[in-house]
Structure 1
Amino acid sequence: MITYINNKAHEFNDLEQAFSEDPDTKEMFWLNISNPTANDFKFLKNKFNFHHLTIEDCMHKAKRSKINDYNDYHFLIISTTDNNVSNAFSYNNIYIYISLNYIITIHYGENKSIKKIINDINNGLSIVSNGSDFVLYNILDDAIDQLFIVTDKVEEKINFLEEESMNNPVQSTLNNIMKIKKTVIKLRRVVSPLREVLNTLLRHDDIITEKYRVYFTDIYDHALRIYDLIESDHEMVTSCLELYSSQLSNSMNKVMKVLTIITTIMMPLTIITGIYGMNFQDMPELHYKYGYFITIFIMFFISFCEIIYFNKKKWL
Structure 2
Amino acid sequence: MQITILTYSPEKGVEHFEALKDLKECTSAKISWVDLQSDDPDEIKAIASHFRLHELAVEDCLTPGHFPKLEDFGSYLFMIFRAIKASPEVEQIWRSRLQADPQVTEELLGDEDHEEVFTRKVAVFLSDKFIITFRRRDVPWLDAVTRQVRQYPERTIAQGTDVVGHRVLDVLFDRFARGVGFFENLIDEMELQAIADQDQFDVRQVMSLKKDLASLRQLMREQRGVVARLGSDADFIHEKQRRYYRDIDDHALSIIKTIDKEIDGLLGLRDTYFAMANVRLGDTMRILAVITTLAAPLNIVVGLYGMNFEAIPLLHSPHGFWLVCVTMIVLVGLMLAFFRRKQWL
Judge same fold: TM > 0.5, yes or no: yes
Residues 289-311 of structure 1, C-alpha deviation per residue, up to 9 Å, x if partnerless?
Answer: 21111111111111111111111
Question: 1:121-132 maps to which residues of 2 (within 5 A)?
Answer: 121=149, 124-126=151-153, 127-132=156-161
What SS class does the counterpart of residue 287 from structure 1 fall into?
coil
In the alignment, is residue 118 of structure 1 matched against residue 146 of structure 2? yes
Instruction: Give the whole-Å Cα distance in 2 for the aligned partners of 1:258 and 1:8.
Output: 80
Counterpart selection for 1:214 from 228, 238, 243:
243
Alpha-carbon RMSD across the aligned residues, in angstroms, is: 1.9
Q: 1:208 to 1:106 in 2, by over 3 A?
A: same
CA deviation after TM superposition for structure 1 residue 151, in Å: 2.4
CA deviation after TM superposition for structure 1 residue 73, in Å: 0.3
Counterpart selection for 1:138 from 161, 167, 173:
167
Instruction: Give the whole-Å Cα distance in 1 for the aligned partners of 2:139 and 2:276.
Output: 42
In the alignment, is residue 296 of structure 1 matched against residue 297 of structure 2? no
Report the AA paired with residue 200 of structure 1: R
In the alignment, is residue 229 of structure 1 matched against residue 236 of structure 2? no
Q: 1:34 to 1:225 in 2, by over 3 A?
A: same
| Structure 1 residue aligned with 2:124 | 96
Instruction: Give the whole-Å Cα distance in 1 for the aligned partners of 2:86 and 2:342.
Output: 54
Instruction: Give the whole-Å Cα distance in 2 for the aligned partners of 1:293 and 1:8.
Output: 104
What SS class does the counterpart of residue 285 from structure 1 fall into?
coil
Instruction: Give the whole-Å Cα distance in 1 for the aligned partners of 2:334 and 2:65.
Output: 74
| Greater than 6 Å deviation, 4+ residue runs | none
Counterpart selection for 1:19 from 20, 23, 26:
23
CA deviation after TM superposition for structure 1 residue 171, in Å: 5.7
What SS class does the counterpart of residue 17 from structure 2 fall into?
strand
Report the AA paired with residue 95 of structure 1: A
- Asked if 1 retains the 8 angstrom alpha-carbon contact of 2:213 and 2:263, the reply is yes
The number of equivalent residue pairs is 311
CA deviation after TM superposition for structure 1 residue 161, in Å: 2.3
CA deviation after TM superposition for structure 1 residue 132, in Å: 1.0
- Asked if 1 retains the 8 angstrom alpha-carbon contact of 2:77 and 2:235, the reply is no
TM-score of the pair, normalised by structure 1: 0.91
Question: 1:1-316 maps to which residues of 2 (within 5 A)?
Answer: 1-6=2-7, 7-12=14-19, 15=20, 17-20=21-24, 22-84=25-87, 85-86=90-91, 87-88=93-94, 90-121=118-149, 124-126=151-153, 127-170=156-199, 172-204=201-233, 206-316=235-345
Instruction: Give the whole-Å Cα distance in 1 for the aligned partners of 2:15 and 2:208.
Output: 43
- Asked if 1 retains the 8 angstrom alpha-carbon contact of 2:80 and 2:124, the reply is yes
CA deviation after TM superposition for structure 1 residue 281, in Å: 3.1
What SS class does the counterpart of residue 240 from structure 2 fall into?
helix
What SS class does the counterpart of residue 286 from structure 1 fall into?
coil
Residues 241-267 of structure 1, C-alpha deviation per residue, up to 9 Å, x if partnerless?
Answer: 111111111111111111111121122
CA deviation after TM superposition for structure 1 residue 50, in Å: 1.4
Instruction: Give the whole-Å Cα distance in 2 for the aligned partners of 1:38 and 1:113.
Output: 23
Instruction: Give the whole-Å Cα distance in 2 for the aligned partners of 1:115 and 1:202.
Output: 25
CA deviation after TM superposition for structure 1 residue 118, in Å: 2.3
Report the AA paired with residue 72 of structure 1: S
What SS class does the counterpart of residue 315 from structure 1 fall into?
coil
CA deviation after TM superposition for structure 1 residue 55, in Å: 1.0
Instruction: Give the whole-Å Cα distance in 1 for the aligned partners of 2:213 and 2:129.
Output: 38
Q: Which moved more, 1:306-315 or 1:236-245?
A: 236-245
- Asked if 2 retains the 8 angstrom alpha-carbon contact of 1:2 and 1:18, the reply is no
Report the AA paired with residue 80 of structure 1: A
CA deviation after TM superposition for structure 1 residue 133, in Å: 0.9
What SS class does the counterpart of residue 233 from structure 2 fall into?
coil
Instruction: Give the whole-Å Cα distance in 1 for the aligned partners of 2:191 and 2:26.
Output: 59
Q: 1:185 to 1:25 in 2, by over 3 A?
A: farther
Q: 1:257 to 1:44 in 2, by over 3 A?
A: same
Q: 1:80 to 1:11 in 2, by over 3 A?
A: same
Report the AA paired with residue 61 of structure 2: C
